[in-house]
A and B are shown apart, each in its own frame.
Chain A
Amino acid sequence: DIQMTQSPSSLSASVGDRVTITCRASQSISSYLNWYQQKPGKAPKLLIYAASSLQSGVPSRFSGSGSGTDFTLTISSLQPEDFATYYCQQSYSTLWTFGQGTKLEIK
């Protein structure tokens, strides 16, 4: 199976900060990488697909980059509603896998 490793596992930041979350795959996954946001008690929400494509309706302060094994999710200017847990997910192999998550907390 392809292992997905996110860093950091948790992060404290302030409103207005620029934040970057990293996701590394155990082997090349081309650009088959998606990012999700999950708030407590809610279902995940797709933010970015195919590594860098913004899902419809998602604010432009979210962006994704990378290919191969290394990927990043960037939030350009944190808003109060962005404090949540973020997951990467690969769909390159027939067995999909998620990263362990990054919890973004208010400083």
Chain B
Amino acid sequence: QVQLVESGGGLVKPGGSLRLSCAASGFTFSDYYMSWIRQAPGKGLEWVSYISSSGSTIYYADSVKGRFTISRDNAKNSLYLQMNSLRAEDTAVYYCARAPPGGNYGMDVWGQGTTVTVSS
């Protein structure tokens, strides 16, 4: 079935780095935009970044621009988020989600999330 599975979360010190992965299955990964969304403990959803189906178009939220890098490997059906210069405020559950191309269909499949904790 259609599935997204995140991995790579964990505990990291402020200023450190972490790489999240999202493995896709059950659909043609290369047909879809992909996005990262996060949710700090007890808070709402915050969009982080998205990447087009080919990887040629990428956007970031201002809060992570210059520190996070989104990428994808369509041959491996995988999405990534490289997170550098991590701060305490980056502590959150990170979700990957797919979005049909066209921009007006919402994010229709989500992973279960992976937890990132930034603390000394």
- Residues of chain A at the chain B interface (Cβ within 8 Å): 1, 31-32, 34, 36, 38, 43-46, 48-50, 55, 85, 87, 89, 91-92, 94-101
Contacts and interface: CB of A to CB of B under 8 A. Distances in A.
A1 B108 contact: no
Nearest to A98: B45
14 contacts: A1-B62, A32-B104, A43-B112, A43-B113, A44-B110, A46-B106, A50-B105, A85-B44, A87-B45, A89-B106, A91-B99, A95-B59, A98-B47, A100-B44
A65 B96 CA distance: 27
Contacts of A98: 37, 44-47
A67 to B, nearest CB: 12
Measured as residues with beta carbon below 8 angstroms from the partner, the interface class of chain B is 20 to 34
Given A44-B95, A44-B110, A91 B44 contact: no
Interface in B73-120: 95, 99, 103-108, 110-113
B68 interface: no
Given A95-B59, A96-B50, A101-B44, A31 B104 contact: yes
B47 A49 contact: no
B21 interface: no
B11 interface: no
A29 B54 CA distance: 25
A32 B107 CA distance: 12
B58 to A, nearest CB: 10
Tell me which of B35, B50, B103, B106 has the highest count of chain A C-beta atoms within 10 A of its own C-beta: B106
